[in-house]
Structure 1
Amino acid sequence: MKLTDRVVVLTGAAHGIGAAMARRMAGEGVRGIIASDLDADAAEALAASLDCPAVAAHADATMRPEVRDLVRLAHDKFGRVDLFCSNAGAAFGTTIHAAEDQWARSWSINVMHHVYAAQAALPGMLARKEGYLMLTVSAAGLLSAPGDAPYTVSKHAAIGLAEWLAVTYRPRGVKVSALCPLGVRTELLTPGIEARHPAAVAIAAAAPLLTPEEVAESAVTGIDREEFLVLPHESVRSRYAAKAADPDGWIDRTIAETAAATGSGR
């Protein structure tokens, strides 16, 4: 899908990958962007800086009514929604013994947020027989994030949701992409690397860290090509193929790589 003259709704837009995506899409000549984030001031600053019509919105992406209101706002301001990028996410760096609220928060933001986005955007897209959903998932949804159980589990669920949406709605004109970066220099990852958290260190060791701008470039290219899996780190493709071909071997290699990166095997 070409982004020229398209209307975009983007959650998690104020920082990191979301802000980079907003700036990159503005450069493609979009008709307008709804830039949504819990950080209202940063969303306002981003919207004001974009080289296209843009409206900032303060919204909690885990609340169905607030996500629905983003679509209504886009219709009020720009007439429709062509592309909904559900980009908000969260990680806690916790194990299977994570607190109940961390499991619940991971599920609500890393899975149900995408569900609410699809529920809100699909009616208008299906009526026009055209539209696009991009879910920011993670390479952890295809592989794993050693040291972070809620993140790994919820991101796997998000991949399953994206697959279901693609199978169900691609025949009706709605394209779906799952954006799956590995390590990215954002506030979601870099503090963990500095603190030597096992999950963050293992991710950083698996492939070179990308900038948010590099991920945004991959996202725009993936939308243009209408690819289901958008993989900013090309090495994820071969790792995912190796996992499918030999799951036990992949698990053993992941254990060894994690131990080497964190020093836990010493």
Structure 2
Amino acid sequence: MELIGKSAVVTGAGSGIGRAIAEAFAAAGARVVAADLDAESAEQTAEQIQAAGGEALGIQADAGATADIEALSATAFGPPDIYVANAGIIGAPGLGTETDWDVILDVNLRAHVRAAQVLVPHWVSRGSGYFVSVASAAGLLSQIGAAGYAVTKHAAVGFAEWLAITYGDDGVGVSCVCPLGVATPLLDAVRAATDSDAAAGAASIVQSGEVISAEQVAAATIEAVQSDRFLVLPHPQVLDMYRHKGSDYDRWIAGMQRYQRSLRTGR
């Protein structure tokens, strides 16, 4: 997709990967709506884009609320050509509670579904549009320590696949971004956790590969959208891990069990 003159909505754009993606789209010539629950952070992202010569609006929005998604689609920039479902949370460690599951499903999965429900009919009617799902390598592999995160990221990948299969012939492009560790406030929060499950999860993230910058993820995302490529792996080694998993599932699970024990015991 050519990005010059296109309109792009980025959720969770107040910091981290979302801010970097918003800035990268603007640098490529798109008009960006930077959305975040934190109004001040969203406006700061927009101001940084404007200072660099780009066009941007900063809007407070709940990425999981249909009314807010509709509002993001009715700004001065017009209906979005591109929607980046980036907002996400790590959620509770372990199995979590019913409330924990309701929250993480809303943010990490239903926000994607609701955005597609609002936008895809419009994109199909005009024959073009682009959906970017910022998932995680946890959606291809798994996440030690946090069931909610592992499950919702798998679901986000599955939903992105379904969108690509179902609406690809109608002009709707889809990219699914699956990084390992990225230097963001979200990772900082996970690493600061004291719960044993959360600590094991944090260790697995930082030990699985180089912790890269949000800007590196953004650059890979922009390139994928421009070339209409589905799977975006800012950490290329994830593909080998994924192939290893699929080649012998029982061996992979046994290896993950050993790895989890080593993280918890230090042996």
Give yes or no for contact 2:140–2:242 (8 Å, CA) kept in 1. Answer: yes
Identify the residue that residue 177 of structure 2 maps to in structure 1.
179
Give yes or no for contact 2:130–2:172 (8 Å, CA) kept in 1. Answer: yes
Q: Which 4+ residue blocks in structure 1 deviate beyond 6 angstroms?
A: none
**Residues 1:27 and 2:27 aligned together:** yes
Q: What do residues 171-194 of structure 1 show as CA deviations (whole Å, max 9, x unaligned)?
A: 100011111111111111123224
User: For residues 146 and 38 of structure 2, what CA distance do their matches in structure 1 show?
Assistant: 25
Extract unaligned runs of 5+ from structure 1.
Answer: none
TM-score (norm 1): 0.94
Give yes or no for contact 1:106–1:154 (8 Å, CA) kept in 2. Answer: yes
Identify the residue that residue 113 of structure 1 maps to in structure 2.
111
State the Cα RMSD in Å: 1.4
Identify the residue that residue 132 of structure 1 maps to in structure 2.
130
**Residues 1:154 and 2:146 aligned together:** no
Secondary structure in 1 matching 2:3: coil
How far 1:26 moved relative to its partner?
1.1
Identify the residue that residue 259 of structure 2 maps to in structure 1.
257
Q: Paired residue for 1:142, among 137, 140, 143?
A: 140
Give the number of equivalent residue pairs.
Answer: 260
Identify the residue that residue 97 of structure 2 maps to in structure 1.
99
User: For residues 91 and 77 of structure 2, what CA distance do their matches in structure 1 show?
Assistant: 36
Identify the residue that residue 9 of structure 2 maps to in structure 1.
9
Identify the residue that residue 199 of structure 1 maps to in structure 2.
201
User: For residues 263 and 100 of structure 1, what CA distance do their matches in structure 2 show?
Assistant: 26
Residue 212 of structure 1 aligns with an amino acid whose one-letter code is A
User: For residues 26 and 73 of structure 2, what CA distance do their matches in structure 1 show?
Assistant: 18
Identity %: 38
Deviates more, 1:221-230 or 1:16-25: 221-230
User: For residues 226 and 28 of structure 1, what CA distance do their matches in structure 2 show?
Assistant: 15
Q: What do residues 147-167 of structure 1 show as CA deviations (whole Å, max 9, x unaligned)?
A: 000110111111111111111
TM-score (norm 2): 0.93
The 3 A distance-change label for structure 1 pair 66 and 79 is closer
Residue 12 of structure 2 aligns with an amino acid whose one-letter code is G
Secondary structure in 1 matching 2:185: coil
Give yes or no for contact 2:143–2:149 (8 Å, CA) kept in 1. Answer: yes
Give yes or no for contact 1:6–1:82 (8 Å, CA) kept in 2. Answer: yes
User: For residues 226 and 264 of structure 1, what CA distance do their matches in structure 2 show?
Assistant: 44
Q: What do residues 87-136 of structure 1 show as CA deviations (whole Å, max 9, x unaligned)?
A: 1001124112x122111111000100001111121122112101100011
**Residues 1:213 and 2:215 aligned together:** yes
Residue 42 of structure 2 aligns with an amino acid whose one-letter code is A
How far 1:263 moved relative to its partner?
4.3
